[in-house]
Amino acid sequence: MLFTLRDGKESLEKILQTDSLEARAENAKACVATLKLSVPTVIDMEDNKVNAAYAGWPDRMYVVGVDGKVAYKGGPGPAGFKPAEVEDWLKKNVK
């Protein structure tokens, strides 16, 4: 669970690292539901190659083109985590 109640207030809880694709998928589903995400969401394989290649921590947003190259790279979070900026970029650059 992502949210817990502490002193009558909701609090985000850290999701621990897992080696199981099934557990990662369940964590991703929980994040999508809790955060009400509307963008496609993917998980990394057990070897964490995507995490290593894209330095996704702290939060970072990327747009990967159909050619497989990075077309947009957001700044490191939390200050660089700007979904509205990515949305604007997509509206301007994707037809």
Q: How far apart are CA 76 and CA 10, in angstroms?
A: 25
For the cut 70, the answer to whether the pLDDT of residue 14 exceeds it is yes
Q: How far apart are CA 88 and CA 90, in angstroms?
A: 5
Could you check whether the bond before residue 58 is cis, i.e. omega within 30 degrees of 0? yes
pLDDT digits 0-9 by tens, 51-88: 888 766 667 788 998 898 999 998 887 777 788 899 99
Q: How far apart are CA 3 and CA 86, in angstroms?
A: 26
Q: How far apart are CA 95 and CA 39, in angstroms?
A: 17
C-beta separation of 11 from 5 below 8 A:
yes
Each domain of the chain, given as residue ranges in start order, spans 1-43, 54-95
pLDDT digits 0-9 by tens, 21-50: 999 999 888 888 888 888 888 899 988 888
